Structures are given as C-alpha cells and as structure tokens.
Amino acid sequence: MSPILLRLVCGLLFSALALGAVVHPPANFAQGLGMLLPAGMLLSVALKGPRRNLIPKKRGVAAPASESPPSA
C-alpha cells in the first residue's frame, strides 16, 4: 500500500474515533484509556507515515574461503 494512502486512511480512522469519543463519551476512565492506544497509533502513522529503517543495515565482512586455519 502506498504511504500516502496509508496516511490518509489512518487519518480518517483517527478522526472517526475522535469524533465518536466527542459524540458518545466513554462511560468510565478505563474505556477512555482503552481508546487512547489505538488513537495514538493511528495519529502517529497519519502524521509520520509508515516507519522504515532509517539506518541501513551493514553487512558483515565474510572471511575469504581460500584461507585455511593455522596449524599448530
């Protein structure tokens, strides 16, 4: 899925969740806390986009196969 489409979908889902919380407030504190986790995750993806590895992985240097181990 393209990053811009993912950000748009997450933004729409976050706005629907926030609007739902305003129109029908949670019954108790635990329900409100339960709504914060998915709302925070959706808002994070909507603002930052999908996270990719910013630091490229370094490949280890392979030992040459032609060398034989030292003999004692």
Measured CA to CA, the distance from residue 17 to residue 20 in angstroms comes to 5
pLDDT at 53: 59
Question: Rounded to two decimals, what is the model's pTM?
Answer: 0.66
pLDDT at 72: 62
1 CB-near residues (< 8 Å, 6+ apart)? none
pLDDT at 6 over 80: yes
Q: Could you report the per-residue pLDDT of 22-70, keeping only the tens digit for each?
A: 999 989 999 989 989 999 999 999 999 887 656 666 776 665 666 666 6
Per-domain residue ranges of the chain: 3-47
pLDDT at 51: 75
